[in-house]
Amino acid sequence: MMHAPLLIDVAGTTLTPPERDRLRHPLVGGVTLFARNWHSRHQLTRLCQSIKRARPDALIAVDHEGGRVQRFQTDGFTPLPAMRQLGAHWRRAQGQAGTSALAAMDMATACGLVLAAELRACGVDLSFTPVLDLDHGRSAVIGDRAFDADPRVVTALARALALGLAQAGMAACGKHFPGHGYAQADSHVAEPVDPRSLATLLRQDAMPYGHLRSALAAVMPAHVVYPAVDGRAAGFSRTWLQHILRQQLGFTGAIFSDDLSMAGARVIDGVAVDTTTAALAALQAGCDLVLLCNQSVVNHGAPIDDLIEGMAAAWACGRWQPSDASEMRRQALLPRQAALDWDALMQDARYQQALAMLATLG
């Protein structure tokens, strides 16, 4: 079985011939889309179809959480609430006579259904959601992307949102393990550090991962260093990925690296590294899939070609070996049920009910 661990990006709204060639490389397993890949629903649908023609088993993914992280927001796509709004709904419901936090869970399920159904109608397979970080009030990059500060509330709302995703045939990917909500630095531009103890992290930020192991098909670790546990960021740490996430918390799904072009991924053990070294470190630590984003527009995608060549060379000389288990986890993320096209979705009663529910969210 071939292992295709690399998720790459594409430059624009259509595929170029070099991008088609990259997608056909046996080490490439998918594409991450961004706002620059969006012009309209029809264009997005055609782009996804082109990706699948070039690589039928490609996993097409996107960061489409709601709030300020929603790549597609016009031409019929529903503006989704930031996850903090769902947490606030939970808090309000608790204080209202005759209602309960179950109403907020219903809202989260509606949000997940709308999110996934609209993406799948255009050919997107997976959104990197839900965010499981706690809202400690310290991290600007997380901020209102988090449901709440209480890990129990986060767990309940994330489970409900994952149910909505599943109703539309989409898997759930929890992030950023074990938690990015306490570290103040933004891992896009720096290497964040969280000094808290393992006991504190397991009791607070990492708690949702243990309770959601049956609801999550994938997890994305944080580019955050937790020096009380390991000197390496979680995405490069066997301690975090193998011993804690897999063994202690019992997670059996796919593990994605976060974007290897981020500053938090470019230093390992205090040494600056290239993307091939970072990818190998992530895979050797326990990641099944690694992301390299926002590089298709740099020197006509040369950084992506360098990574593919570097990974192929590492495989040829025995520095890295493909994993059948990892490839099976990647394949498991591909939707199993057919998606409704956009016209059929607009007539779907469950989707319309979910839309109506979201319209009441204040």
Please confirm, yes or no, whether 188 is among the known catalytic residues: yes
Angle at the Cα of 156 from the Cα atoms of 152 and 157, rounded to 5 degrees: 115
Output b/e per residue, 103-125; b: 16+ Cβ within 10 A. Answer: bbbbbbbbbbbbbbbbbbbbbbb
- Distance of alpha carbon 346 from alpha carbon 362, whole angstroms: 24
- Backbone dihedral region for residue 96 (phi beyond 0: left; psi -120 to 50: alpha; all else: beta): beta
Distances from the Cα of 118 to the Cα of 77, 80, 81, angstroms? 7, 11, 15
Asked if 306 contacts 314 with a C-beta cutoff of 8 angstroms, the reply is no
Report which residue type is found at 89. H
The active-site residue out of 188, 211, 243, 348 is: 188
Cis ω before 180 (30° cut-off from 0): no
The active-site residue out of 144, 258, 259, 288 is: 258
Active-site positions read 188, 258
